[in-house]
Every structure is written in C-alpha cells, then in structure tokens.
C-alpha cells in the first residue's frame, strides 16, 4: 500500500449545510431543518444532563410542549420517543448522528416529510362509469357485504372535505367528544376532535378542522376508500358505508419543489388513528428513506389492531418505498383497467397487491367536486376500502389476517405483465373472492435468520455457504400438506438444500425450520449485491410465494477484537457503508458499548482546490465519491502482521482532481 507522507488520516466529518427555510430537499428526501426525533433506551429523567454530554447541548436542543412533540409519547406505556427542536446552523442529519453516539440513545433521525403519490391528469366531471369497480368485482362483493359504520378507515393525508355531499354521511365522529365545547372530553390529548384532527394547519398550528387547506389530495383518496354509495349522486366506492376518519397531516406552507402538499406529520397522524380506533389506516404517500421511528409507529398501530395500507410509489422503480415497504404494511402497486402494470407504478419484491390506479374518478374538494387522475395514491385507498368490508365480513380476524385474506384472493396477472413475474405481489385485488372465500390459506415468514458457514466474520462472501432459518406463521385456514421450495433466478448462488415438506400447520401456528434451506455464494458473485431468493409454498388448493433478500459481498468489513469493533469499507469510509441510512456496518464500539462514530473518511489533497475524499460534502445526504475500488475489502485471519487484518485497494481515477494515487 502506498501512503501519503506515510500517514493516512481518518477523522470525523463535521461539515454541515444549513437551509434558510424550514424544510430541506436533499437526495430525494424532504426533512425539517429545525428538529430531530430521538428514542431513548430508557425513560429519561435527566434530559439536561444527557444532552450536556459530548457537548451536544451546543446544538441548542429544546423539547417544545406542543402537540407535535408530545404525540409520540406513551408508546407502549413509555416516554422514550421525543421530538427536539433547535435553532443552531447544523444539519439535522449531522445532529442525529451526533446524538446517536450517546449511550442513552437508541436512535436519532431527522423528521422526514413525504410526497403524495399522485400523477396529475385533467379534471373531469363524473360521466357515469367508474371502471375500477367492475374490474375488482365490487358489485358481486356488495351482494355479500356492504360494510358497516362500526368499521373505520383513517385517511392520513392532506385533509378531507368532511362536508362533501358524497362523503358527509360516511364521516367518522368521535363518539366521546362533545363538539366545540373547548374541552378534551375523551382525554386523548386533542380538544374538540369531533371529526378528526389537523396536525399541520396553515402554518404548523394544529386545530380540530381536518378539511384540506385547498384541494390537494386527501378528499380524492377518501372518496375511493368510502364515498357514500347508493345515494343517487356522484361516485360509488368499494367501502360503501364504511366510516372515514379524517386526519390532516400536511401543513399548507410546506410544499414540494413542484408546489404539491407535503405530508409533514404522517406518523403523528398514524398514531392518532390507531389510538382512536381506526381499523384500517391508508397512507397514499411516501419516500425512499428508511426510518426506525416510522417502523416503530407502524408496529404500534398493528399492535392496536389496525391494518396499514400504503401506496407503492409512482417512479417505475423496484427500490423500496416507505411506508409501503415496512414490515406489516400492505404495499399497493397500480394497474390499468386491463390488469397491466401502470407505466409509472413501482414494482418489486416488497409489493403485496395491485389495484386500478389509471384515470380513476373520485370526490374533490373544489367545484365540480369530482376529479379524475392517476397514481398509486388511488390504488391504495381502493384496497383500504376493501379492507373495511373484509373487517366486517370476518370480524374474528386480526388485522394481519385481514391483509392476508385480501392478498391471497387476488387475481394472478403475471401472464399479462411479462418481465414483472412475481414483482406485482399476488396480483390485482378481487373483492368478490376476498369476501366469499371462507377457506383461504396463507403462510408468511415472521422471522428470518441467516447463518454464515465460512470465515466467521458475519459477512456473506463468495465461496461461503449460508444457512437460512425462517419462522413461518399460518394466518388463515389450517394446512395439512404444506411444503416449501427455494429457487434463485441467477448464477450468483447455488442451492444446496432447497426445502421440503412440513405437513400440518394450524391457524396462527408458527414453526421454525432450521435444516431446510442452504445456499453457496458463487466465486464470481458481484460486490454489494442484493441476492433475491424465492420461496414457493404449496398445500391442497394453495399456491403462494414470498421473496427474501440477502446482501452478499458487501463493500465493508467489520474488524472485531476482544474489546473493539470498527467498520471499514472498500473506498476509505469508516463507521458505515451506506450513509446516511447507516444500516450496513456497526460504526465504532468498545466493549460491546454504544456506537461512538457514524461518519469517518479518508481525505487527502495538495491544495484547497485539489482534495479527494469519500466524506460528506455540501449535500448533507450524500458523500463525495472520489475513489474507485481496485481490490474489494477483505478480512484475513490470520494476517501477515496481526491476528486479523483488513485489506483494500482503491485509487482516485474517478475524481475530477485526480492525483494518480493508489491507496
């Protein structure tokens, strides 16, 4: 290895960018510039002392006593999650990473905002036909069940025109709240939330009127889930007479670069819906940034008995889109009226179902009060509306069973969508089959473990064998002859053990299968590759599948001694390999303690204008990428000079200020 002056300098990056506005848009993500969300490992009784450690107090963090900062408390009867505001010129991504170093902190992250998943079209008045309803066999389903006012679908969105003549009769009213008396009658923390709640208002001040600030999105979504049906006006909806809970989570003065409303308080709204009895929660919005915080809120909602349904996104992408890709969420892709994938719809291994989303007509807040447009924003509430009927048809099912009842009764559309086989979930929803099939079967993985059989470093690399140990849960009708097989559609791994027969599995019974599945990673497998493995399930009159994913040959290694653990990657970064998500790697830990470092990087140069690095630049969400991998990182046990050695080679050939150095 060549060294610059025989010295290689690694150091923590403290560069940050500062936006003058209240929100910032970086690398596809929107987030507030003045706040971070923090989860403590234990209930903190000494906040001042904790925040003073490591000079964290310099950021000017305070916890405001308002609804936004208080809503996440009392999760699982604790006060572990807090929102902190600050006025210092530091980026919240950087502040989050600094706060996360404290031993008392489990995680910290920016407060993200999300774009609605709408692809605009021209506005039209209802002409008399709603093509999406015949496609999903809605009329046949209504012969079985037309829903109930006891079932509630929460619309977490830009607000709902709860006085719209085609929605008003289906609007949820808080039964324990007296309207406009200025008192929090039910003690839920929200005064006069008789028809729902507005978390954002015009300028960040919440209120009890969840109507849209202007016609944006939410009223359209609400009408698809459960506009009043058979009332001789306007549109019909799959939800028929299921109730709509209006939860406004946008703020009128916070908008995207294109002027569209942003979902600023989506997870506040999601928790509100779960706490106030929503059976189904629809999220027609999202983004590509993973959030520990969001997954916790979704877990909380599921534990409270709610089914979360979310739009899969409109970028024709197979990347994971959130909240649709979180565990426990029904992810909904979009199709046209002949079951073809909509050209804009996302797809991939996390999609559960699809529903019509092309040129769909629904309620609208402004005249002429009906509007036609496209997007998975529309597909998602159609599924949510069906979920409302399904809750009424199967009142003894829990929320996950409701989701599975919908999923396994879809119409398979693989043959219509060449190139997207098994990437559009189980297919396009079928309302009639969902409500009429009393003997549906469904198995899903509820826990998954990968065991490396190789050099023992916990990294899955070429030439190594991987043992796969899943836990399966049967959600619906008991199985009598259940079997599973494993397949791979590429040459990056070979199957050693491909599955077998389990036999019987009762309803809601789980089983851990420890000796069914084993693969060997190919010597020629690429770096940092997400290996998709397909599990195929079968039983009498039951065929199903599920994807699992394994990252192989990652471009990082974790160097661990008796007391110290440190992650290095192939191009000079230390701490983590996937900034800013920070899921790949373990940072720097000592004696199994908390992580002490999130950002470390190699930087060298000959002048202020000739600097090469892989550190974070002016874009707070993106690293500079001045180095190219020559030899991927490897861990040698034993090494030439130590018991464990990590080796990598890279150069600066891809840099605009290349110095011709190889390190």
Active site residue 217: yes
Q: Which of 17, 97, 132, 157 is catalytic?
A: 157
Beta bridge partners, 515, equal none
Find, among 148, 223, 174, 156, the residue nearest to 391 by Cα. Answer: 148
Euclidean distance between CA atoms 422 and 607, whole angstroms: 53
Give CA–CA dist 449/472, Å, rounded.
12
Q: Is 157 tagged catalytic? A: yes
Task: Check 250, 377, 426, 440 and give the catalytic one.
Answer: 377
Residue 102 tokens read as: 């404290």
Smallest CA-to-CA distance from 42 within 96, 104, 103, 109 is with: 104
310 token code pair: 């979310």
Q: Which of 217, 573, 578, 652 is catalytic?
A: 217
119/311 Cα distance (integer angstroms): 12
Cβ atoms of 566 and 588 within 8 Å: the answer is: yes
The residue count of the chain comes to 663
Report the SS3 class of residue 244. strand
Structure-token match 């009842």, residue found: 405
Give the position of tokens 């969300």: 37
To 10 degrees, the CA torsion angle through 14, 15, 18, 24? Answer: -90
Q: Note every long-range contact of 392-398, with CB atoms under 8 Å and residues 24 or more positions apart, other chains counting.
A: 392/145, 392/147, 392/148, 392/150, 392/151, 392/242, 393/144, 393/145, 393/435, 398/305
The neighbour count for residue 13, using CB atoms within 10 Å, is 21
Task: Collect all residues with Cβ–Cβ distance below 8 Å to 6 and sequence separation of at least 6.
Answer: none
Scan for tokens 């999202």, then name that residue: 286
Full DSSP string of 274-292: HHTT-SEEEE-EEBS---H
Q: Which one-letter DSSP state was computed for residue 4?
A: G
Which tokens go with 108? 């910290």
Q: How far apart are CA 8 and CA 10, in angstroms?
A: 7
User: Three-state DSSP class for 246?
Assistant: strand
Residue with tokens 């969400």: 621
Would you give the DSSP letter of residue 413? -
Report the distance separating Cα 582 and Cα 580, nearest Å: 5
Could you list the active site residues?
157, 217, 377
């Amino acid at each position: 290895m060549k060294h610059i002056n025989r010295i290689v300098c690694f150091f923590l990056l403290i560069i940050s960018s500062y936006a003058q506005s209240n929100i910032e848009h970086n690398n596809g993500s929107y987030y507030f510039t003045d706040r971070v969300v923090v989860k403590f490992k234990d209930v903190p009784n000494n906040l001042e002392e904790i925040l003073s450690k490591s000079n964290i107090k310099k950021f000017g963090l305070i916890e405001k006593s308002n609804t936004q900062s208080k809503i996440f408390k009392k999760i699982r009867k604790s006060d572990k999650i807090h929102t902190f505001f600050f006025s210092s010129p530091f980026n919240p991504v950087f502040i989050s990473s600094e706060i996360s170093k404290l031993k008392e902190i489990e995680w910290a992250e920016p407060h993200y905002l999300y774009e609605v998943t709408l692809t605009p079209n021209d506005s039209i008045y209802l002409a008399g036909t709603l093509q999406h309803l015949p496609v999903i066999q809605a009329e046949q389903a209504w012969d079985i069940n037309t829903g109930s006012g006891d079932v509630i679908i929460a619309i977490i969105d830009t607000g709902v025109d709860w006085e719209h003549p085609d929605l008003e009769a289906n609007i949820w009213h808080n039964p324990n709240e007296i309207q406009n008396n200025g008192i929090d009658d039910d003690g839920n923390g929200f005064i006069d939330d008789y028809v729902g709640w507005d978390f954002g208002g015009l300028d960040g001040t919440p209120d009890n009127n969840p109507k849209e600030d202007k016609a944006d999105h939410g009223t359209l979504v609400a009408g698809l889930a459960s506009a009043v049906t058979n009332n001789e006006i306007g549109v019909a909806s799959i939800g028929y007479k299921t109730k709509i809970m209006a939860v406004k989570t946008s703020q009128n003065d916070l908008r995207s670069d294109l002027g569209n409303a942003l979902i600023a308080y989506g997870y506040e709204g999601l928790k509100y819906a779960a706490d106030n009895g929503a059976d189904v929660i629809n999220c027609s919005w999202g983004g590509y940034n993973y959030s520990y915080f969001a997954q916790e809120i979704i877990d909380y909602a599921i534990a409270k008995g709610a089914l979360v349904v979310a739009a899969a996104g409109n970028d024709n992408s197979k990347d994971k889109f959130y909240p649709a890709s979180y565990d426990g969420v029904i992810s909904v892709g979009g199709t046209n009226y002949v079951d073809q994938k909509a050209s804009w719809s996302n797809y991939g291994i996390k999609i559960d179902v699809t529903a019509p989303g092309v040129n769909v007509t629904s309620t609208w807040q402004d005249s002429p009060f009906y509007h036609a447009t496209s997007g998975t924003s529309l597909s998602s509430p159609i599924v949510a509306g069906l979920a409302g009927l399904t809750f009424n048809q199967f009142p003894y099912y829990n929320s996950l069973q409701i989701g599975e009842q919908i999923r396994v009764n879809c119409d398979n559309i693989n043959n219509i969508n060449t190139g997207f086989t098994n990437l559009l979930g189980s297919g396009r929803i079928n309302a009639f089959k969902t409500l009429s099939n009393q003997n549906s079967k469904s198995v899903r993985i509820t826990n998954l473990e990968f065991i490396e059989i190789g050099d023992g470093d916990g990294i899955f690399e070429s030439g190594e064998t991987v043992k796969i140990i899943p836990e399966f849960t049967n959600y619906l009708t008991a199985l009598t002859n259940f079997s599973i097989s494993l397949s791979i559609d590429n040459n990056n791994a070979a199957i050693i053990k491909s599955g077998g027969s389990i036999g019987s599995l009762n309803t809601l019974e789980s089983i851990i299968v420890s000796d069914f599945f084993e693969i060997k990673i190919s010597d020629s497998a690429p770096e940092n590759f997400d290996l998709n493995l397909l599990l195929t399930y079968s039983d009498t009159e039951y065929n199903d599948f599920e994807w699992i994913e394994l990252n192989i040959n990652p471009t990082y290694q974790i160097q661990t001694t008796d007391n110290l653990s440190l992650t290095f990657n192939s191009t000079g970064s230390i701490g983590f390999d996937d900034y800013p998500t920070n899921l790949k790697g373990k940072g720097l830990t000592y004696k199994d303690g908390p992580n002490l470092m999130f950002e470390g990087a190699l930087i060298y140069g000959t002048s202020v204008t000739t600097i090469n690095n892989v550190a974070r630049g002016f874009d707070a969400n993106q690293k500079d990428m001045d180095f190219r991998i020559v030899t991927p990182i490897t861990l040698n046990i034993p090494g030439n000079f130590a018991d464990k050695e990590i080796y990598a080679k890279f150069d600066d050939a891809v840099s605009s200020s290349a110095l011709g150095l190889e390190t």
